[in-house]
Amino acid sequence: MSKVVVITGASAGIGAATAKLLGSQGHQLALAARREPELRAAAAAAGQALVVPMDVTRRADHDRLRDAALREFGRIDVWINNAGRGITRRVLDLTDDDLDQIFAVNLKSALYGMQCVVPYFQQRGEGHLINVSSFLSRVPFATFRSAYNAAKAGLNALTANLRVDLRATHPGVHVSLVMPGVVRTEFPRVALGASPTQPPFAGPSQSAEEVAAVIAALIEHPVAEVYTNPAQAKIAEQYYHDVGAFEENAAKQGPWPPAPPKS
């Protein structure tokens, strides 16, 4: 059955791959991102799609996106909060500005999306909110992504709390969390600060298309939470089984990226 799907952060990476796959499946799409040329290219690859350039850090832009989708399609079935950006800073190196920027893009933007569309879903009695988080919000493999990991951990908490709030009163409104691991996209290149390669101990990487396939399946069969890479779900289980032992073992492997050799 064709659904109306809104995707933020749709100009590249997971968002663009998801749009392309869902478009091929016959879904109607409203695609949003800051970079308009790249967004229009992603819309063309997805087939016919509504293009809404926006800044996800502005609450009013989310309302404008919702209203544009409703005008175009008459309804919204699925809303995917996918926009995100990384930063390369360890905890002790973070500044106020670093946190403000990363939390605005990765956490506050998703909150704006939730507060924008969920009341509509409640009024309608059905709908599906999907928040794209990160495996790094659960396991501290890439400590140089500390602020990003913290923002995504906050997103996990907001998602879970919203889901519990809705479960008793609006069972037709689904809330899902997607947990990608390392994905081969432009994400490292556009992260704030120099971006090292992935930690070799973080497990195999995935393509954006592989993650998109998981999201498409989630739309058909909603669940509370899904890891896009089953191997990393097992790693998360090991971590929470014995946090201390896991972190001690990780520390023995040394920091990543390794410190440069002394001259």
Q: Which residues are catalytic?
A: 148
Residues 6+ positions from 128 with CB-CB distance below 8 Å: 77, 78, 79, 121, 173, 174, 175, 176, 219, 222
172, two tokens: 């037709």
27, two tokens: 């879904």
Decide if 194 contacts 87 (C-beta within 8 A).
no
Tell me the C-alpha distance between 257 and 254, whole Å.
Answer: 9
Q: Which residue has the tokens 């879903």?
A: 121
User: Radius of gyration over alpha carbons of the chain, in Å?
Assistant: 18
Tell me the C-alpha distance between 141 and 44, whole Å.
Answer: 36
165, two tokens: 């709030």
Residues 6+ positions from 18 with CB-CB distance below 8 Å: 7, 10, 80, 82, 208, 211, 212, 215, 216
Paired residues of 227 in beta bridges: 179
Eight-state DSSP code of residue 91: G
Eight-state DSSP code of residue 259: P
